[in-house]
Structure formats: structure tokens, C-alpha cells
Chains A and B, each alone.
Chain A
Amino acid sequence: MNFRTFAAFVGPSVFMMLLFIAFPLVSVFKQSFYITQPVYETVEVETCTPGFLTQTCVIEQKSQPKLDEHGEVITQTEYVGLQSYRNVLEPERAWRAITEGNWSVLSTINFWKALRFTLTFTLITLPLVIGFGLGIAVLINNAARSIRGPVIFISLLPFIITPVIGALSINWLFRGDGILTALLEWWLNRDIALFAQAWTIEILMMFYRVWHVAPFAAVVFYAGLQTVNQDSLESAVIDGATRWQRMKYIVIPHLMPLIIFVSMIHLMDAYRVFEEIVGFSSQAYVISLQWLTFDFLVPDQAGNRSISRASASAMLTMIGIVLLLILPLRRTWRDHKGGH
């Protein structure tokens, strides 16, 4: 295939990716150094109230946005350097908190709070997803052939449903006196409020994420289990290997590429954790990096969006993505070089 044909086939796709992914990235990078805000002017306003004999007049200094001839607010964009990053990171406060070892102060700064949650969430759910995925795959593989189809159907449901709704459905089971909270209260014989502190919400979120992703891992691993060499399993039995040893020395090494694949996908997706915050309405207690950017982008009461701060926090989120991707990209690069 010569270059021109290749370009004709790939062109539209590359164009869309450049226009809607690469270009926004560049513009976010630029935006994070600039700040756009209305131009304010100070005007003297005289307010008079009718009084006895004379009016009582008060002259006030008022600052209000300047309007142009169409009555629209004039805005100006100025270069502020790293100011937006400083607004998001609050480095002085954060540094003071770290040197004093005062973690509760650090967690009052939104960015660090979000970073802390995003990282714990990603790292705790990863082994759980792999473990449960593998477990379910082995269970399905053990089951009679006739029930595998329906079981896979049921297993796919948590994976396929809208993430916000999935989080909500678990939220509704526990919220207030939801059915499972009532069950827990009856069992432990004490009052439980699962949505009154951060750590219980975090556990519920992690539970949701594992519930949501484990089916994906299970289906992938199940497909891998079909290709395990039966002869080597059999010879292992004859050599006296226990079930556990067969699992450890034959099945797991065989599934290793798939385990790496699922871990990669899960790391990418868990780092973007967002829907859980919406579904559990946990913004008062727990936030994530992507939610932080989202929150800056949502208009506040006055209708302003803090675009530059959103850009700064978006760029900071990107650093994590880069770190996350270095290893797999190196591996792909080596595979590519090895393949030619």
C-alpha cells in the first residue's frame, strides 16, 4: 500500500483525532497560562433616599464589570504564568502541611485530596479486579457447559450498564435506610450511616468499581483459559502437582499477557475515576482528579467557569497519565522493533 492510498484510508480518522484530541490538548496547555476575566471598573454611585426636608445621599465606591456598546461584558485575557497552577496546588500551604506532618491540613486542599483518593482507589482496586476476575473465570470454566451462557450473560450486566446508573443502583441499596444498610444494622445490631464519613463512601466506591470491572476481566481470562494446554495440565497431575501448583505454574503464566492487558486497561480507567463521585454524590467528602477538573468547568452561581484553573488541573492530571503509560509504551516500542 503506497503512502497516498494509506493517507486516504487513515486521513479522516487522523484528522478527527488531531482536531478534537491533539488540538484541545495544545489549547488546554496554553489556557493554563492565561486567565480570562471581565474588566472591572470602579464607579462612584450616589444613592439617595428621601428624608425629612432634604434627601439623604450616600456615595459609594462600587466595582462592576465594564460593558461595551452592546451591553456585553468586556473580558480581557492576560498572561499569568504559573498562577493557575499555584491556585490549584497551593504549594506554600501544602509544603507547610507536609513539613509539619499535618495530613489533615493537606487534605483540605482539593487537589491533594483528589490525588490521594485517585491513587488509593486505583491501587486498591487493581489487585481486587484481577483476583476476582480470575476467580470468576475459573468458576465459570468449572461449571457445566450448559449454564455457562446464562452465567456470562448475568456477569456482563454490571459491566455493560451505564456507570453512573450502576453507581446509583448500589448507592440506593445503602443510602439512608436502604435495604442492605437495614440488613447490616440488623446483623450488627447498631446504627450505621454509610454516607456520613469519607472512608465508608470510599469502600462503597471501590466495591462498585470491582463489581463493574471484574466481569470484563473474567470474560477475558475465561477466553484465555480455553487455550490452556490440557496435556501439560495432565502431565502436571501425573507428576503429582496439586491444584494450587497447577494454577500457579501452568495457568497463571499462560494468562500473564492477559493479566497485564487487563491491568493496563484498568489502570487507565481507574485513574479517570469520575462517575462514582456523581453516582454516590460524594463531592462533600471524596473527590477525584477528573472530578476536580469537571467541577472547575461547571458554571458557578454567577455563571462563570474557571477555565484556566480547570486547564491547570487537567495538565496536572496528564502528568499522571504520562507516568502510567511510560512502561507499556516502552514495551510496545520494543515489540515493534523486534517485529521488524
Chain B
Amino acid sequence: MSSRALRQPLSLRLTSNIFLAFWCLVAAFPIVWIAIMSVKSPVDAYDSNALNVIFGPATLATGNGLSVLDIIVGIAVIWGAAMVVTKVLPAKIKEYTSPGQEWFGWVVGVLVALIAFLLVFFVVLPAVLNVLNPLFGPLGRDVLGMTTEHYKTVWVDRGFSNNFKNSLIVTAGVVTVSLTVGTLAGYGLARSGSTLAFWILLIALIFRALPHSVLVAGYLPVFINSAEWLAPILGENAPTLYGKPFAVIAVLVAINQPFTIWMLRSFFQNIPAELDEAARVDGCNHFQAFRRVIMPVMWPGVITTGLFSFLLAYNDFLVTSLLLDAQNQTMVPAIAGMFNRETTTTDQVVAVAAAVSIIAPLFFLVMIFQRQIVSGLTAGAVKG
């Protein structure tokens, strides 16, 4: 607090911080807990004693566990990886790429770092620790029950990697298309004060409120019969749109469009109009002005909007579960099938592992893009 008059008494600060800590506990607990459950044997995961769930004696009894040494080395490796990614990687990328091509360097760099980390953490580390553990006596004895077998079941036996691939296709498609279309529209709407622009925005607001099931009720009969009514145009090879990822991408892009154009419009409004006016004075038309002047400065807003498009496509259950067939199913509907059908506790824990697999990428997303997400949440609000 800047001013003495506004300084708060100690008791108030203490209470405030205690409540804040309590909120953090409430916010994180369900997520942390399912992450813990997913690495325990079913007996431990459903134990009513919280300590048994955390330390996992039954998991330990089956010979799966971590020693103190494992934990220390593991944390050290994670910390080292974080240091490398935050400190060394940006410098290396700057060194090896020419200006303007940095994004490519980032893609390659992040991929290499990710693969290297996975290799070290899951292949090299277990092998080294297997040798080291017997040498360290009590430090090398397993104390914490932990098993990755449920993840193996999910990803290998249940074919979750296929669902992952489908999720990847759908989200990548949605983000690319909706940003391309939305950026143009957002720019146009921000620079035009016409009544037409106002009506487009207003109707987009109404569209944003529509329940998605209403729209899907409209698509389903059309998509299922699409081979019939597309035949006059496309001839014999007319596709059935039902079950195809590209149809779902188109649908999700459209559903996402109202939100995207509102958000990008507010970002473009923050870019001073004098910029493109100057470019126009220099002889650019609107498209050249957009490409040469606006595009270089629009990325923060576009990245933020892209994050929210990603979340919409990645988190969607309703549209993907109704419009995709079993073969092209994405992760979220797939897990719904998993926990509804299964009954044994092993299957339950497998479903938990699948759930954790789905939210793990989101966790990293928040970690990397926290500032963009916060700015995106507030950007819409400030404009009202």
C-alpha cells in the first residue's frame, strides 16, 4: 500500500492471507487429488484414509514406488529442465535464427526440449536410478507408492493416443481457421464505425448466447444426409459430413466466431488508427496497410484470442460427441464413454488417469501463457 492512511492492521492482513490460502487449497485440491489418485493402485486410490492415498502402501506392496533418492533426483531434473527452457533456450534460439524467423526457431526449440525432457525423465533416469538405488541403503528404499501402469493402460491398450491425435487435428484446425477469419473480421469491424458493423456485432452477441445443442440439432440431419444433397454438386464422391473432423472444425470455428471477433475487435481498437492512416497516406491500400503495418503489431492480441479458441475446441464435449463417429472421437467425449461404462475400481482409476492426461497440457498452457490469459479475460471486460 502506497499511503499510510490505507495501511492495514496486522490482524486484517493475517485473516486476509489465511482466507486466500484457503481459496488456493479449494482451487487446487480436486485437480491435485485426481493427479495423485491416477498414480496409485485402485486399492489406494479409493482408500478412505487420505494418508493412505498419498503414500500408497498397497501400491508400494506391489513393488511400485519411489525412494527418497528418486524424488530428490526427479525434482532436480525438473528444476534443471525449467532453468534450461527459461534461460538457455531463448538465447540459443536468438543465436541460431535470423530475425523474422524466430517463431520457427521457437517451434523447433520447444519440440527438441520436450522430446529431450521426455527421454531423460522416462528412459535415462529410471535406468540410472535402478543402478544407484541399491547403493544408497535407506535413502534408496521405496517410500512412496507410485505406478504409471494406468497411464500405460490408457494410452497403449485403450488407444487413447488415437483420440489424442484427433483432438490435435480438431484443435489445430479450429485455431488456425478461426484466427485467420476472425483477425480479418476483427480488424474490419474495429476500423469501421458503420451501422452495419454495429449490427454484425450485435447479432454476434446473440449468437454467442445460443446453446450449442440448438445448433447441433440443425446440423445433424443435414450432415447425416449430406451425401444425398451434395451429390448434384460433387457427383459420386460426395462425402458424408457426419463423423468427419473437417466438418467439426468448420462448426467449432463458426460457434467460436462471435467471441473471436468481439475480442479481436477490442484488441484492434487499442492499436491507434493513426498507424494505418499513415500507411495509407504513403500509398498503401487497406489490405497492404493491414499486412505491412498492422500484422507486425497484432500478435499479442491474436495469441490471446488463439488461446481461447484452443480452449473452446479442446474442451468441447457436446459438438464433438454428437458429430464425430467412434473412429474420429476426440479425448473429452472418449473419456465420458470410459467412466459411464466401466464399473470395476481399476477401470475407474484408468478413467482418472485419462482425465489427468487431458488436463496436463492445459496446466502447462496456463503456466506459459498466464499473462496472455489474464489480459484476454480483462480485455473483454474493460470494453464492457
Residues of A within 8 A of B (CB): 1, 3, 5-6, 8-10, 12-14, 16-17, 19-28, 31, 36, 135-136, 138-140, 142-143, 149, 151-158, 160-166, 168-170, 172-173, 176-179, 182-183, 211, 215-216, 219-220, 223-224, 230, 233-234, 237-238, 243, 257-258, 260-262, 268, 271-272, 274-275, 278, 281, 289-291, 293-294, 296-298, 305, 307, 310-311, 314-315, 317-318, 321, 324-325, 328-329, 332-333, 336, 340
Contacts and interface: CB of A to CB of B under 8 A. Distances in A.
A12 B377 CA distance: 26
A9 B207 contact: no
A13 B181 CA distance: 6
B127 interface: no
10 contacts: A9-B184, A20-B251, A142-B13, A156-B374, A162-B315, A168-B339, A169-B355, A172-B30, A219-B377, A321-B209
Task: Kindly name the residue among B2, B16, B206, B210 whose own CB sees the greatest number of chain A CB atoms within 10 A.
Answer: B210
B168 interface: no
Contacts of A153: 366-367, 370
A268 to B, nearest CB: 4
A297 B215 CA distance: 11
Contacts of A272: 211-212
A321 B377 CA distance: 23
B101 interface: no
B311 interface: yes
Given A6-B188, A20-B215, A223 B30 contact: no
Contacts of B193: 340
Nearest to A28: B218
B143 interface: no
B8 interface: yes
B121 to A, nearest CB: 22
A237 B207 contact: no
Contact of B17 (A22, A143, A297): A143
Contacts of A22: 207
B24 A154 contact: yes
B27 A155 contact: yes
Given A9-B189, A182-B49, 6 more contacts: A14-B185, A162-B314, A164-B336, A169-B355, A275-B317, A311-B218
Contact of B214 (A5, A168, A314): A314
A23 B31 contact: no
B219 A24 contact: yes
A160 B27 CA distance: 11
A9 B3 CA distance: 50
A162 B358 contact: yes
Interface of B: 2-3, 5-6, 8, 12-13, 16-17, 19-20, 23-24, 26-31, 33-34, 37, 46, 48-50, 53, 181-182, 184-185, 187-189, 191-194, 196-198, 200, 202-222, 250-251, 253-255, 257-258, 261, 285-287, 290, 311, 314-315, 317-318, 322, 332, 335-336, 339-340, 348, 352, 355, 358-359, 362-363, 365-367, 370, 373-374, 377-378, 380-382, 384
Given A17-B258, A157-B28, A172-B34, A164 B335 contact: yes
B153 to A, nearest CB: 17
A223 B205 contact: no
A325 B216 CA distance: 21
B362 A160 contact: yes
B37 A172 contact: yes
Nearest to A14: B200
Contacts, number: 300
Contacts of B253: 16, 20
Contact of B194 (A6, A156, A169, A317): A6
A189 B318 CA distance: 40
A299 B28 CA distance: 37
A169 B381 contact: no
Contacts of B203: 17
B33 A223 contact: no
B254 A17 contact: yes
A28 to B, nearest CB: 4
A278 B8 CA distance: 45
A290 B257 contact: no
Nearest to A278: B336
A324 B209 contact: yes
A10 B265 CA distance: 11
Contacts of B37: 172
A179 B221 CA distance: 44
